[in-house]
Amino acid sequence: SESHPVRAQSAYGTSKLAAEGYLQFYGDVYGTRYVVFRYANVYGPRQDPKGEAGVVAIFAKRILEGQRPTIYGDGTKTRDYVFVSDVVSANLAAMESVNHSDVMNLGRGIQVTDYEIFDLVRRAAGSDIQPVYADKRPGEADRVSLAAARAADLLKWKPAVAPEEGIQRTVDYFRDAIAP
Protein backbone atom coordinates (compact mmCIF):
# COMPACT_ATOMS: atom_id res chain seq x y z
CA SER A 1 0.00 0.00 0.00
CA GLU A 2 1.02 3.63 -0.20
CA SER A 3 1.67 3.61 3.56
CA HIS A 4 4.15 0.72 3.33
CA PRO A 5 7.65 1.87 4.31
CA VAL A 6 9.59 2.89 1.21
CA ARG A 7 13.27 2.05 0.96
CA ALA A 8 14.76 2.56 -2.47
CA GLN A 9 17.22 -0.13 -3.58
CA SER A 10 18.49 1.47 -6.79
CA ALA A 11 19.52 4.86 -8.14
CA TYR A 12 16.33 4.90 -10.22
CA GLY A 13 14.14 4.24 -7.17
CA THR A 14 16.07 6.81 -5.15
CA SER A 15 15.46 9.48 -7.80
CA LYS A 16 11.73 8.75 -7.82
CA LEU A 17 11.56 8.90 -4.03
CA ALA A 18 13.52 12.18 -4.04
CA ALA A 19 10.98 13.68 -6.47
CA GLU A 20 8.20 12.73 -4.05
CA GLY A 21 10.13 14.47 -1.26
CA TYR A 22 10.46 17.66 -3.29
CA LEU A 23 6.75 17.63 -4.08
CA GLN A 24 5.88 17.15 -0.43
CA PHE A 25 8.23 20.01 0.50
CA TYR A 26 6.64 22.38 -2.04
CA GLY A 27 3.20 21.27 -0.90
CA ASP A 28 4.03 21.93 2.75
CA VAL A 29 5.83 25.24 2.20
CA TYR A 30 4.02 26.75 -0.80
CA GLY A 31 0.71 24.91 -0.90
CA THR A 32 1.48 23.29 -4.25
CA ARG A 33 -0.97 20.48 -5.01
CA TYR A 34 0.27 17.30 -6.61
CA VAL A 35 -0.62 13.72 -7.35
CA VAL A 36 2.14 11.15 -7.39
CA PHE A 37 1.48 7.86 -9.11
CA ARG A 38 3.71 4.98 -8.09
CA TYR A 39 3.53 2.85 -11.21
CA ALA A 40 3.93 -0.89 -11.33
CA ASN A 41 5.85 -2.15 -14.39
CA VAL A 42 4.06 -0.37 -17.22
CA TYR A 43 4.18 -2.13 -20.58
CA GLY A 44 2.57 -1.89 -23.99
CA PRO A 45 3.03 -1.01 -27.64
CA ARG A 46 5.72 1.53 -28.51
CA GLN A 47 7.74 0.77 -25.38
CA ASP A 48 11.45 1.01 -26.11
CA PRO A 49 12.93 -2.51 -26.31
CA LYS A 50 16.49 -1.19 -25.96
CA GLY A 51 18.08 -0.94 -22.56
CA GLU A 52 17.44 -2.73 -19.30
CA ALA A 53 13.89 -1.58 -18.51
CA GLY A 54 10.69 -2.70 -20.20
CA VAL A 55 11.04 -6.46 -20.03
CA VAL A 56 7.87 -7.19 -22.03
CA ALA A 57 9.15 -5.10 -24.96
CA ILE A 58 12.65 -6.52 -24.63
CA PHE A 59 11.39 -10.11 -24.57
CA ALA A 60 8.98 -9.48 -27.47
CA LYS A 61 11.58 -7.97 -29.76
CA ARG A 62 14.19 -10.60 -29.00
CA ILE A 63 11.81 -13.53 -29.41
CA LEU A 64 10.36 -12.17 -32.65
CA GLU A 65 13.90 -11.78 -33.99
CA GLY A 66 14.69 -15.41 -33.03
CA GLN A 67 17.04 -14.41 -30.20
CA ARG A 68 16.94 -15.88 -26.71
CA PRO A 69 15.96 -13.34 -24.04
CA THR A 70 17.85 -13.14 -20.76
CA ILE A 71 16.16 -13.73 -17.43
CA TYR A 72 18.22 -12.33 -14.55
CA GLY A 73 18.10 -14.72 -11.63
CA ASP A 74 16.26 -18.02 -11.60
CA GLY A 75 12.98 -16.69 -13.03
CA THR A 76 11.12 -16.55 -9.70
CA LYS A 77 11.59 -12.82 -9.05
CA THR A 78 8.19 -11.13 -9.24
CA ARG A 79 6.84 -7.83 -10.48
CA ASP A 80 3.41 -6.27 -10.83
CA TYR A 81 2.53 -5.41 -14.45
CA VAL A 82 -0.01 -2.86 -15.69
CA PHE A 83 -0.91 -2.10 -19.30
CA VAL A 84 -0.24 1.41 -20.60
CA SER A 85 -3.89 2.22 -21.42
CA ASP A 86 -4.83 1.46 -17.80
CA VAL A 87 -2.20 3.95 -16.63
CA VAL A 88 -3.51 6.54 -19.08
CA SER A 89 -7.04 6.14 -17.74
CA ALA A 90 -5.82 6.72 -14.17
CA ASN A 91 -3.96 9.86 -15.20
CA LEU A 92 -7.04 11.23 -16.96
CA ALA A 93 -9.24 10.41 -13.97
CA ALA A 94 -6.84 12.22 -11.62
CA MET A 95 -6.80 15.33 -13.82
CA GLU A 96 -10.58 15.47 -13.68
CA SER A 97 -11.25 14.60 -10.05
CA VAL A 98 -8.34 15.08 -7.65
CA ASN A 99 -8.13 18.52 -6.06
CA HIS A 100 -5.75 17.74 -3.20
CA SER A 101 -2.24 16.32 -2.87
CA ASP A 102 -2.00 12.57 -2.84
CA VAL A 103 0.15 9.52 -3.55
CA MET A 104 -1.40 6.50 -5.26
CA ASN A 105 -0.19 3.14 -6.47
CA LEU A 106 -1.15 2.04 -9.96
CA GLY A 107 -0.85 -1.69 -10.41
CA ARG A 108 -2.83 -4.90 -10.56
CA GLY A 109 -1.73 -6.05 -7.11
CA ILE A 110 -0.68 -9.39 -8.59
CA GLN A 111 2.85 -10.74 -8.53
CA VAL A 112 3.98 -12.31 -11.79
CA THR A 113 7.32 -14.10 -12.06
CA ASP A 114 9.90 -13.21 -14.66
CA TYR A 115 9.48 -16.68 -16.15
CA GLU A 116 5.69 -16.28 -16.37
CA ILE A 117 6.15 -13.00 -18.28
CA PHE A 118 8.67 -14.67 -20.57
CA ASP A 119 6.26 -17.56 -21.19
CA LEU A 120 3.30 -15.23 -21.92
CA VAL A 121 5.42 -13.29 -24.43
CA ARG A 122 6.76 -16.49 -25.99
CA ARG A 123 3.24 -17.94 -26.39
CA ALA A 124 1.91 -14.66 -27.82
CA ALA A 125 4.74 -14.76 -30.37
CA GLY A 126 4.02 -18.41 -31.22
CA SER A 127 7.56 -19.45 -30.29
CA ASP A 128 9.14 -22.31 -28.39
CA ILE A 129 12.42 -20.47 -27.74
CA GLN A 130 14.07 -20.92 -24.34
CA PRO A 131 15.51 -18.12 -22.18
CA VAL A 132 19.11 -17.57 -21.17
CA TYR A 133 19.65 -17.23 -17.42
CA ALA A 134 22.13 -14.78 -15.91
CA ASP A 135 22.97 -13.70 -12.37
CA LYS A 136 20.41 -11.50 -10.64
CA ARG A 137 21.44 -7.86 -10.88
CA PRO A 138 22.52 -6.08 -7.69
CA GLY A 139 19.81 -4.09 -5.92
CA GLU A 140 16.86 -5.85 -7.55
CA ALA A 141 13.98 -6.63 -5.23
CA ASP A 142 12.79 -10.23 -5.13
CA ARG A 143 9.08 -9.34 -4.95
CA VAL A 144 7.08 -6.30 -6.04
CA SER A 145 3.32 -5.85 -5.90
CA LEU A 146 1.32 -2.63 -5.54
CA ALA A 147 -2.03 -2.39 -3.78
CA ALA A 148 -4.09 0.15 -5.72
CA ALA A 149 -7.04 0.48 -3.32
CA ARG A 150 -6.49 4.23 -2.96
CA ALA A 151 -6.75 4.79 -6.73
CA ALA A 152 -9.80 2.52 -6.82
CA ASP A 153 -11.44 4.55 -4.07
CA LEU A 154 -10.51 8.09 -5.13
CA LEU A 155 -10.47 7.68 -8.91
CA LYS A 156 -12.89 4.76 -9.30
CA TRP A 157 -9.98 3.17 -11.18
CA LYS A 158 -9.07 -0.41 -11.73
CA PRO A 159 -6.94 -2.01 -14.40
CA ALA A 160 -9.05 -3.33 -17.27
CA VAL A 161 -6.49 -5.08 -19.49
CA ALA A 162 -5.50 -8.60 -18.40
CA PRO A 163 -1.82 -9.51 -18.86
CA GLU A 164 -2.59 -12.08 -21.57
CA GLU A 165 -4.43 -9.46 -23.65
CA GLY A 166 -1.89 -6.69 -23.01
CA ILE A 167 1.04 -8.90 -23.85
CA GLN A 168 -0.63 -10.13 -27.03
CA ARG A 169 -1.28 -6.53 -28.10
CA THR A 170 2.34 -5.64 -27.34
CA VAL A 171 3.75 -8.62 -29.24
CA ASP A 172 1.46 -7.86 -32.20
CA TYR A 173 2.76 -4.29 -32.25
CA PHE A 174 6.37 -5.44 -32.31
CA ARG A 175 5.60 -8.10 -34.91
CA ASP A 176 4.22 -5.36 -37.20
CA ALA A 177 7.08 -2.98 -36.38
CA ILE A 178 9.75 -5.60 -37.16
CA ALA A 179 8.11 -6.90 -40.36
CA PRO A 180 9.94 -5.85 -43.53
What amino acid positions are annotated as catalytic residues? 12
Q: Apex CA 123: angle with CA 119 and CA 124, to 5°?
A: 115
What is the rounded distance in angstroms from the CA atom of residue 43 to the CA atom of residue 52? 13
Residues of 71-86 as b/e, b for ≥16 C-beta within 10 angstroms? bbbeeebbbbbbbbeb
**Which residues lie below 8 Å from residue 111, measured CB to CB, with a gap of 6+?**
78, 79, 80, 143, 144, 145
Task: State CA 106 to chain mean position distance.
Answer: 9
What are the helix (H) ranges across the chain? 11-30, 55-64, 84-97, 114-125, 149-155, 163-178
What is the rounded distance in angstroms from the CA atom of residue 144 to the CA atom of residue 78? 6
